[in-house]
């Protein structure tokens, strides 16, 4: 693979209170004709994340037409798992509704943060989402006791809801968590059967694997994700025949940091999608998307 970068297409808007800085963890869907809707989270003046969207013209180099004036999902109630921020992870269309699987941010005391997955549902085409529950959809267990259970990617495959998600495996120190990518299944998209199956594990020099994005093409599962070790985040790639056992093929990812500019230090949180016979990637750069969302096109 070789991705050709097209630069930033979504950037923070100082005139919108909910995205003073950052546009991070993008998810795209083609809503009609050439109109693409990109969900992401921006940060307010207090550095708290809210979920909104940009409308872009896919026929015109994905040029942004407008931004949502208000978030589609904002902070949870004080004391809940998502009271310090919300970030989108995946959107599913099901039975005429949109299921938004999201990341809930919570401040820690002995450690820096908690990141737990929640679910919100929209019945008006994603203009506003309401929480399915004030509680997360992934709870801590004896097998997974750490408060990093997040970043879900969800596919409905042969009547089985399949999830690939980020799972904490420990903390090196209060500021440095370690997490890999695990797998879960569900019959309804709400309650998940988790057996602690590691799909993509850490290499010896790594401490983080984040934001899985899975496509199933020609019977092969393809995953893009972010990995971090001795350097800042890079985008990796893996393939699987069953969605459970994966081969890491990071050397085939086909994209790396630029020599200079907004993505010269790190690239992460890739979302890959198909549009009119081509494959596109949305991704973030330096400082976790502080300057916005970039677009790349698969050359080969």
- Predicted confidence at residue 230, as pLDDT, reads 82
Angle at the Cα of 25 from the Cα atoms of 19 and 31, rounded to 5 degrees: 90
Q: What is the mean pLDDT of residues 228-249?
A: 96
Give CA–CA dist 291/264, Å, rounded.
12
Contact between residue 41 and residue 53 where contact means Cβ atoms under 8 Å apart: no
Q: What is the mean pLDDT of residues 197-216?
A: 97
Q: What would the pLDDT profile of 252-283 be if each residue is shown by its tens digit?
A: 999 999 999 999 999 999 999 999 999 999 99
Q: What is the mean pLDDT of residues 82-94?
A: 98
* DSSP label of 252: G
231 pLDDT higher than 90 = no
- For the question of whether the overall pTM of this predicted structure is more than 0.95, the answer is yes
Q: What would the pLDDT profile of 119-172 be if each residue is shown by its tens digit?
A: 999 999 999 999 999 999 999 999 999 999 999 999 999 999 999 999 999 999
Maximum alpha-carbon separation in the chain: 50
- Residue whose pair of structure tokens reads 């093409």 in the numeric block: 217
Could you give the domains of the chain?
3-11+96-298 (2.115.10.20)
Report residue 260 as tokens: 């200079």
At residue 290 the predicted structure's pLDDT band, cuts being 50, 70 and 90, is very high
Pick the closest to residue 56 from 66, 46, 70 (CA basis).
66
- Residue whose pair of structure tokens reads 């309401």 in the numeric block: 130
For CA atoms 191, 27, 178, 155, give the dihedral sign.
positive
- Predicted confidence at residue 109, as pLDDT, reads 93
Give CA–CA dist 296/212, Å, rounded.
17
Pairing relationship of beta strands 148-157 and 113-122 according to DSSP bridges: parallel
Percent of the chain with pLDDT over 90: 98
300 pLDDT higher than 90 = no
Give the CA-trace dihedral at 262, 35, 162, 80, to 10 degrees: 70
- Residue whose pair of structure tokens reads 């401040």 in the numeric block: 107
What DSSP string runs through 62-129? TEEEEE-SS-SB-PPPTTSTTTTEEEEEEEEEETTEEEEEEEEEEE-SSSSEEEEEEEEEESSTTSS-
The HSE-up count of residue 279 (CA atoms within 13 Å, CB side) is 14
- Residue whose pair of structure tokens reads 């209170």 in the numeric block: 17
Give CA–CA dist 66/170, Å, rounded.
41
């Amino acid at each position: 693979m070789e991705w050709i970068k097209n630069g930033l297409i979504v950037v923070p808007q100082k005139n919108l209170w909910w995205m003073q800085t950052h546009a991070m963890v993008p998810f795209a869907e083609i809503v009609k004709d050439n109109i693409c809707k990109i969900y992401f989270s921006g940060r307010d003046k207090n550095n708290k994340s809210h979920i909104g969207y940009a409308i872009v013209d896919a026929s015109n180099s994905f040029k942004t037409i407008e931004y949502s004036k208000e978030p589609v999902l904002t902070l949870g109630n004080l004391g809940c798992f998502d009271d310090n921020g919300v970030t989108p992870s995946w959107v599913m269309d099901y039975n005429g509704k949109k299921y938004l699987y999201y990341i809930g941010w919570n401040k820690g005391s002995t450690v820096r943060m908690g990141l737990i997955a929640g679910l919100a549902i929209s019945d008006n085409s994603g203009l506003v989402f309401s929480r399915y529950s004030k509680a997360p959809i992934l709870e801590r267990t004896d097998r997974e006791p750490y408060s990093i259970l997040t970043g879900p990617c969800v596919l409905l495959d042969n009547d089985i809801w399949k999830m690939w998600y980020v799972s904490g495996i420990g903390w090196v120190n209060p500021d440095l968590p370690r997490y890999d990518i695990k797998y879960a299944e569900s019959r309804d998209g709400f309650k998940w059967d988790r057996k602690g199956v590691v799909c993509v594990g850490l290499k010896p020099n790594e401490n983080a694997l984040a934001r899985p994005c899975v496509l199933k093409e020609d019977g092969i599962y393809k995953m893009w994700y972010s990995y971090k070790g001795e350097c800042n985040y890079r985008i990796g790639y893996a393939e699987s025949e069953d969605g459970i056992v994966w081969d890491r093929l990071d050397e085939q990812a086909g994209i790396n940091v630029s020599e200079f500019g907004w993505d010269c230090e790190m690239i992460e949180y890739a979302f890959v999608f198909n549009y009119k016979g081509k494959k596109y990637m949305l991704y973030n750069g330096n400082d976790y998307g502080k300057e916005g969302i970039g677009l790349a096109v698969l050359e080969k």
